[in-house]
Homo-oligomer: A and B are copies of this chain.
Amino acid sequence: MASERLKAFSDGVLAIIITIMVLDLKAPQGASFAALWPLWPTFVAYVLSFVYVGIYWNNHHHLFVIVEKVNGGVLWANIHLLFWLSLLPFVTAWASESRFARDPVALYGAVLLGAAIAYSILVMALLRAQGGRTLLHEAIGRDVKGWISIAAYVLGIAGAFLHPWIGGLFYVAVAAMWLVPDRRIESRLNEL
């Protein structure tokens, strides 16, 4: 089976997830810039979640550029990934409405962790679907960045119980790792 519809459906779901989160940015009552101030947690959480959905779309895009074949297992592994990402608007809203309290920040990390694991499962399903050693195997390599992310989410969740900002720091760091294309680090990581 070709991957056209898998890509189209994923693009649709990710486009909706990234966009409906802005619905939580409700226009404030007042009409002055000062009235915007209480919105800062919502805005900060929106930016972080927007970046995360952007990262997932970007990685998903790169992943399927070099994929030829998909099967039923890949379709479901993909829907499983979309499920975790679909929870992002919910945990984003809870984290910001609680002004980054301990439990919501930990749950935010748990959803990121779920999505990261689901992404790894998707990659494994794709590798199995291709059969034999392919370009995909080489491109994925040992996926050091993926494992670092998963470890960082776990540390972030644990850290959130010490102080929510520790959790947030880990989540921001992982996003930055994916966002900043420091080519030296990137090639080093790929060489490992």
What is the interface of chain A, defined by CB distance below 8 A to chain B? 1-2, 5-9, 11-20, 22-23, 25-28, 31-33, 36, 47, 50, 54, 57-58, 61-62, 64-65, 72-73, 75-76, 79, 82-83, 86-87, 89-90, 93-94, 97-98, 101-104, 107, 179, 181
Contact = CB atoms under 8 A, between A and B. Distances in A.
A23 B22 contact: no
B18 A20 contact: no
Given A54-B76, A73-B181, 8 more contacts: A11-B12, A19-B86, A22-B90, A27-B93, A32-B103, A36-B107, A58-B79, A72-B181
Contacts of A26: 93
Residue from the set A2, A7, A104 with the largest chain B CB neighbour count within 10 Å: A104
